[in-house]
């Protein structure tokens, strides 16, 4: 299999995106507002995990994967799926909290109008 300039350029762009993602990850760790920060960190982890999975799959085009490589990829996929589910739960929880705050605020406004 020959490697074209476009493929090399794409690899370089992906490497830069991983470096930038790691930079953003470090920046997010230093920011306040814990719940937002945790969601951003989870997004960065998800991006990096997807990148790692993509690179592993890309490597398999050049050589056949070993049992250990397949096992590692399965663990990475499981981690990605768990992380995605946790992020969805966190978003749902935040939406419920916002709704509860709005309901509480509306109730207090109604009580003061009486």
11-64 per-position pLDDT tens digit: 444 556 777 777 777 776 666 666 667 788 888 889 899 999 999 988 888 888
Instruction: Identify whether the C-beta of residue 29 lies closer than 8 Å to the C-beta of residue 37.
Output: yes
- Closest among 44, 47, 48, 10 to 24, alpha carbons compared: 44
Query: Which long-range contacts link 5-12 to residues 24+ away (Cβ below 8 Å)?
Result: none
Nearest to 49 by CA among 73, 31, 30, 29: 73
Q: H or E segment at 76?
A: helix 67-113
Is 6's pLDDT higher than 50? no
Euclidean distance between the first and final Cα of the chain, in Å? 78
For the question of whether the overall pTM of this predicted structure is more than 0.85, the answer is no
Whether residue 114 is predicted with pLDDT greater than 80 in this model: the reply is: no
- At 24 the pLDDT is 73
Q: Tell which residue, 60, 59, 27, has the closest CA to residue 44.
A: 27
What tens digit of pLDDT does each residue of 57-110 get? 888 888 888 999 999 999 999 999 999 999 999 889 888 888 888 888 777 777
Residue 33 — left, alpha, or beta (φ > 0 → left; ψ -120 to 50 → alpha)? left
Q: Name the nearest CA neighbour of 52 among 23, 25, 18.
A: 18
């Amino acid at each position: 299999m020959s490697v074209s300039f476009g493929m090399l350029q794409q690899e370089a762009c992906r490497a830069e995106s991983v470096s930038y993602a790691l930079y953003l990850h470090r920046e997010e760790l230093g920011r306040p507002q814990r719940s937002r920060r945790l969601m951003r960190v989870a997004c960065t982890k998800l991006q990096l995990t997807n990148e790692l999975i993509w690179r592993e799959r890309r490597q398999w085009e050049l050589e056949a994967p070993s049992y250990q490589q397949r096992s590692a990829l399965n663990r990475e996929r499981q981690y990605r799926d768990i992380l995605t589910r946790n992020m969805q739960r966190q978003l749902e929880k935040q939406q419920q909290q916002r709704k509860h705050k709005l309901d509480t605020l509306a109730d207090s406004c109604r009580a003061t109008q009486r």
